Amino acid sequence: MTFSFSNSLVPEVTLSVAGLTDYIQELLEQDEQLRQVWVTGEVSSANRHRSGLFFTLQDPDSKASIQCVVWTSQLSKLVQLPVSGEQVIVLGSLRVYPQRGQYQLSVWQALPAGEGLQALRYRQLRNRLEAEGLFDEERKRSLPTHPQIIGVVTSPQAAAWGDIQRTLKRRYPGLQVLLSPAQVQGELAPASIIAAIERVERDGRAQLLILSRGGGASEDLACFNDERVVRAIAECSIPVLTGIGHQRDESLADLVADAYAHTPTAAAELAVPELATLSAEHQQRQRALENAVTQVLNTSNHHLQRLQERLERLPLERQLRDEQKAIAKQRQQLMQATSRRLRQASQHCEFLRQKLATLDPENVLKRGYAVVRRENGTIARLATNLVPGQEIQIQLGEGQVKAKITEILD
């Protein structure tokens, strides 16, 4: 079969391959949206070379794919390295390669997508709060040993509320429980939980606050990883105990709380002691005390009996005579020492009396001496201090006389 074309079917102007490729390159690379574009997809293959990491990003639903490259200089800046089989979100720009007639996404950044992205955000928030010290053990308070009033923040319709009520009533009858209702799932849950916590604080009666909900999917528990809820727990003036989810679950609310349990029931068990157990422990301590007292009493009686036996064997009359002799001897020694000290004191007193009599001025005057005083009463000791015509007073052994100086002899 032979085909023929008429000249009318051939266009007058045609594009070269290079021209068409240049047009496509300018069209794609100059597009503002394609210069910096976020693309999500699944990594279907990845190959590492010296120049960089080459991988294919595929749409899981339509099977559409695009070739991507992360140059070696950019690899260390990626939050997550693209790995085959994982979902990622990449940031890059579109590049056209004329020689191959292909386009490729030059990637600057790669982030985990889906659950991986949530995990990344969780890790980043956890690290930031941990750096602030919100999870430090030093800031956690002890739970009250025997609380009388407990506040509970949870949904009134949740099974957790029923579990907590039954457990508290069984373990600690008579306890007053205050429910502060809150949404514990969905977008409105964080604000609702914060309002419920503040409500318990304003009331002022609760000595302990339990924040609780049952288990669920990770997205159902997202409100307990909300930064606002975490900070509200950290700033709460009442000790906070959390009981969220199942055994495998751990939220940021658990980490910042003063104590946490893995389930609502476990939280209620941790909040209060069991009265039956307390009663049994009290009886056990009472028996131990009685045994200890009995043992001490038996030991004391045995010791007293031994002392009585020793006392019966002692020769008391001879000991009494020896003690009396010792007392009499000490009495005699005391009387002798007292008499000796008295004689010494008397002799010393007589010596002082005689010395005082010797120094008495009146006794000196009685032996013929006299004391000459001036008119002003001062004693005249030197003749040169007196002048003729001066009146003086002379004190004799008996009596006094007044005289006037007529002459001073050398």
pLDDT tens for each residue of 284-329: 888 888 888 889 888 888 888 888 877 777 677 777 888 888 999 9
Considering only 46-50, 75-79, 402-406, which range has the smallest mean pLDDT?
402-406
Q: What is the pLDDT of residues 25-37, one digit of tens each?
A: 777 777 777 888 8
Q: What is the mean pLDDT of residues 79-96?
A: 86
Per-residue model confidence (pLDDT) at position 10: 58
CA distance 383 to 322: 80
Give the E-state strand segments of 16-86 in sequence order: 37-48, 52-58, 65-71
Per-residue model confidence (pLDDT) at position 116: 58
Specify the pairing of strand 400-404 against strand 102-112.
unpaired
CA distance 52 to 77: 13
| Backbone φ and ψ of 235, nearest 5° | -90, -5
Q: What is the CA radius of gyration of the chain?
A: 57
DSSP code, position 13: -
- 68 Cβ partners below 8 Å, 6+ apart? 54, 55, 56, 57, 82, 90, 92, 104, 105, 106, 107
Considering only 5-14, 48-57, 342-351, which range has the smallest mean pLDDT?
5-14
Q: What is the mean pLDDT of residues 238-253?
A: 82
8 Å CB contact between 241 and 207: no
Average pLDDT, the chain: 84
- 86 Cβ partners below 8 Å, 6+ apart? 42, 43, 80, 112, 116
Per-residue model confidence (pLDDT) at position 118: 67
| Backbone φ and ψ of 71, nearest 5° | -70, 155
List of long-range contacts for 369-378, beta carbons under 8 Å, 24+ apart? 369/397, 370/394, 370/395, 370/396, 370/397, 371/395
Per-residue model confidence (pLDDT) at position 61: 76
Per-residue model confidence (pLDDT) at position 249: 58
> pLDDT band at 144, cuts 50/70/90?
very high
CA dihedral 284, 285, 287, 292 (to 10 degrees): 140
Per-residue model confidence (pLDDT) at position 142: 93
Per-residue model confidence (pLDDT) at position 209: 96
Q: What is the mean pLDDT of residues 350-366?
A: 74
Q: What is the pLDDT of residues 328-340, one digit of tens each?
A: 999 999 999 888 8
Return the structure tokens found at 13. Answer: 């102007």
pLDDT at residue 272 is higher than 80: yes
Q: What is the mean pLDDT of residues 339-345?
A: 89
Q: What is the mean pLDDT of residues 56-72?
A: 87
Q: What is the mean pLDDT of residues 167-191?
A: 91
8 Å CB contact between 210 and 269: no
Q: What is the mean pLDDT of residues 178-206?
A: 94
Measured in whole angstroms, how far is the alpha carbon of residue 112 from the centre of its chain?
Answer: 37
Residue of 361, 383, 365 lying closest to 374 (CA atoms): 383
Residue of 271, 6, 281, 18 lying closest to 142 (CA atoms): 271
Cα distance between the two ends of the chain? 189
Per-residue model confidence (pLDDT) at position 181: 95
pLDDT at residue 168 is higher than 80: yes
Return the structure tokens found at 141. Answer: 């308070």
Q: Mind giving me the DSSP string for 194-254? A: HHHHHHHHHH---SEEEEEE----TTTTGGGG-HHHHHHHHH-SS-EEEEES-TT---HHH
